[in-house]
Amino acid sequence: MFLEKHRPFESVAAIRAAAERFLPAPAVSLLDGGNQAGTTASANARIFDEIMLRSRLCQARHEVCTKAQVAGFAASLPLMIAPVAAQGLAPGAELGQARACAKAGIPLGVSNFASVPWRELTDAGADVVAQFYWVDGRERMAERLARARAAGVTSIILTLDWTFPAGRDWGTPAMPKALGWREALEWGPAALSRPSWFLPFVVKKSMPPLRAPNFADSVDADPTFPGVMARWKNTAYPRWDDVAWLREQWDGQLSVKGILEPDDAVAAVAAGANAVVVSNHGGNDMDSVVPSLAALPAVAAAVGGSVPVMFDGGIRRGADVIKALALGADSVLLGRAAAWATAARGEQGVAELLGLFDRDIRQTLRSIGVSSVKELSVDHLRQTPAFKGLAGAFAGEVPGQK
Ligand SMILES: Cc1cc2nc3c(=O)[nH]c(=O)nc-3n(C[C@H](O)[C@H](O)[C@H](O)COP(=O)(O)O)c2cc1C
């Protein structure tokens, strides 16, 4: 037990297994997410197997450059942590992420539903990328943008791909209305079977309520997770002119997340986005939409280098990052991998995760004989017909944009 606790993680698979051992089963299921049959969620990761790397001999470099601009920040690797809600399941989670990211020089995506206020995360030294959903309409959005700015936020992501899907074949765990005593008991045997998760709450005699402090505004100074969800459901879905309006309100970096179609990428750029994020919400929104890797080449071609292309969905190892960059991404986001690392070992877990990616990205660059992430292109890949079938005509020719 002691040895296992202190042995560094060897892979994201090991991190996932440790998170599963620590969290109660409903929490694991919430983080795993996926919707309906889970087709898109699992295809996101599986489709990386349809892309293979071309190894080159006698071209390995000792020094490789992994630096990149990510969401407006200079980063040590071409990646950032994706905004993921429900981190309050592991209390203080975002703070641990912020500290690990600050040390590693990696930006931190912060969900609109984060359990910690932006200011605590910027004070921890993190390059915070605050994610926003379109909730309550323009007036309230403007207030929250001003609060973000006052908290030291300079870069935001607007996520547009949420339509309140429902119904999972394997059942949706009841989301506790707050992390209180009653809810913990309602999670019952599952919670009690994970004493190392449950006991710290007992010892502290405080269960952190599921708050959503970054939704605070003049109408609701102390919003709860379920309270905001209810308001969000009553908000009219945003339109591109709302995005253009938001652009006018925000003078910092604006990335638009949830892009799968080339036309939407073009619309986002026309509305003033500084970056587009190819993403299907990790398969948590509409099931059966295209795996995001297959959407990437056409989006990169449509954007044509006018703004950076960010990517997420299914990234579990450094070679996945290399494949996404070769298909046209400039940087990638880590969703579940980071959530599992946070649940498994907090700040230390995230630090180990980023260390694994650093190791793997460098090693992969050496194997394929490339000295910088900026040099990657489709020439470094072989693609199966299955991938080309989904990705369409652009799979073979991603215009240079780096
Ligand atoms: C449990 C969970 C919660 C999420 N919450 C948010 C969120 O609050 N805002 C957002 O923009 N995306 C959210 N996402 C999507 C992630 O930002 C990201 O797009 C996705 O997880 C990437 O796929 P991956 O998990 O396979 O890396 C969430 C994903 C999961 C799994």
- Per residue in 233-281, pLDDT tens? 999 999 999 999 999 999 999 999 999 999 999 999 999 999 999 999 9
Pick the residue whose CA is nearest to atom 14 on ligand 1.
Answer: 84
Question: 336: Cβ below 6 Å to ligand 1?
Answer: yes
**Averaged pLDDT, 185-200:** 75
Question: 113: Cβ below 6 Å to ligand 1?
Answer: yes
Does residue 92 carry a pLDDT above 80? no
d(CA 211, CA 179): 9
Render pLDDT for 219-237 as a digit per residue (tens, 0 to 9).
899 999 889 999 999 999 9
Kindly report which listed range (82-91, 316-325, 337-346) carries the lowest average pLDDT score.
82-91
Return the half-sphere exposure (C-beta side, CA atoms, 13 A cut-off) of residue 397: 1
Does residue 399 carry a pLDDT above 70? no
Q: Tell me: domain 2-396, CATH 3.40.50.300, correct?
A: no
Question: 366: Cβ below 6 Å to ligand 1?
Answer: no
Does residue 321 carry a pLDDT above 80? yes
d(CA 165, CA 289): 13
Model pLDDT, residue 142 = 97
Amino acid present at 349? G
Ramachandran sector of residue 288 (left: φ over 0; alpha: ψ -120 to 50; beta: rest): left
Bridge partners for 276 per DSSP: 256, 309
Catalytic residue among 6, 62, 281, 380: 281
Model pLDDT, residue 401 = 37
- The whole-model pTM stands at 0.94
Model pLDDT, residue 188 = 72
Query: Cα 71 vs. chain centroid, distance in angstroms?
Result: 12
Question: 147: Cβ below 6 Å to ligand 1?
Answer: no
Does residue 35 carry a pLDDT above 70? yes
d(CA 64, CA 13): 26
d(CA 308, CA 129): 15
DSSP 86: -
Instruction: Identify which has the larger pLDDT, 5 or 354.
Output: 354
Ramachandran sector of residue 247 (left: φ over 0; alpha: ψ -120 to 50; beta: rest): alpha
CB within 8 Å of 128: residues ≥ 6 apart = 98, 107, 108, 110, 118, 121, 122, 152, 153, 155
Does residue 215 carry a pLDDT above 80? yes
Does residue 2 carry a pLDDT above 70? no
Model pLDDT, residue 196 = 79
Question: 214: Cβ below 6 Å to ligand 1?
Answer: no
Percent of the chain past pLDDT 90, that is, above it, reads 76
Q: Tell me how far CA of residue 315 lies from CA of 80, 115, 308, in angstroms.
A: 12, 24, 18
Model pLDDT, residue 134 = 98
The closest-lying atom of ligand 1 relative to the alpha carbon of residue 82 is 17
Element (H, E) at 109: strand 108-110
**Averaged pLDDT, 45-65:** 95
Model pLDDT, residue 106 = 98
- State the chain's maximal CA–CA distance in angstroms: 64
Does residue 385 carry a pLDDT above 60? yes
Q: Indicate if 380 belongs to the active site.
A: no
Kindly report which listed range (179-193, 243-257, 349-363) carries the lowest average pLDDT score.
179-193
Nearest in space to 358 (alpha carbons), one of 334, 378, 380, 326: 334
Model pLDDT, residue 185 = 67
Instruction: Identify which has the larger pLDDT, 385 or 33.
Output: 385
Model pLDDT, residue 395 = 60
Coil, helix or strand at residue 74: strand
Mutate to test the pocket of ligand 1, among 35, 284, 310, 320 (most ligand atoms within 8 A of CB): 284
Nearest in space to 219 (alpha carbons), one of 145, 140, 148: 140
Question: 282: Cβ below 6 Å to ligand 1?
Answer: yes
Render pLDDT for 168-182 as a digit per residue (tens, 0 to 9).
998 887 766 666 666
Question: 34: Cβ below 6 Å to ligand 1?
Answer: no
Pick the residue whose CA is nearest to atom 13 on ligand 1.
Answer: 84
**Ligand 1 midpoint to CA 61 (Å):** 35
Model pLDDT, residue 204 = 67
**Averaged pLDDT, 293-299:** 98
Model pLDDT, residue 58 = 94
d(CA 315, CA 321): 7
Pick the residue whose CA is nearest to atom 15 on ligand 1.
Answer: 281
Pick the residue whose CA is nearest to atom 10 on ligand 1.
Answer: 83
Does residue 267 contact residue 303 with C-beta atoms inside 8 Å?
no
Mean pLDDT of the chain: 91
Does residue 3 carry a pLDDT above 60? no
CB within 8 Å of 319: residues ≥ 6 apart = 48, 53, 360, 364
DSSP characters over 213-280: GGG--SS-SS-BHHHHHHHHHTSPPP-HHHHHHHHHH--SEEEEEEE-SHHHHHHHHHTT-SEEEE--
**Ligand 1 midpoint to CA 84 (Å):** 5
**Ligand 1 midpoint to CA 254 (Å):** 18
CB within 8 Å of 137: residues ≥ 6 apart = 235, 236
Read off the tokens for 69. 């601009």
At residue 91 the predicted structure's pLDDT band, cuts being 50, 70 and 90, is low
The closest-lying atom of ligand 1 relative to the alpha carbon of residue 44 is 26
Question: 83: Cβ below 6 Å to ligand 1?
Answer: yes
Pick the residue whose CA is nearest to atom 20 on ligand 1.
Answer: 282
Kindly report which listed range (40-54, 107-121, 295-309, 384-398) carries the lowest average pLDDT score.
384-398
Coil, helix or strand at residue 137: coil
Amino acid present at 120? E
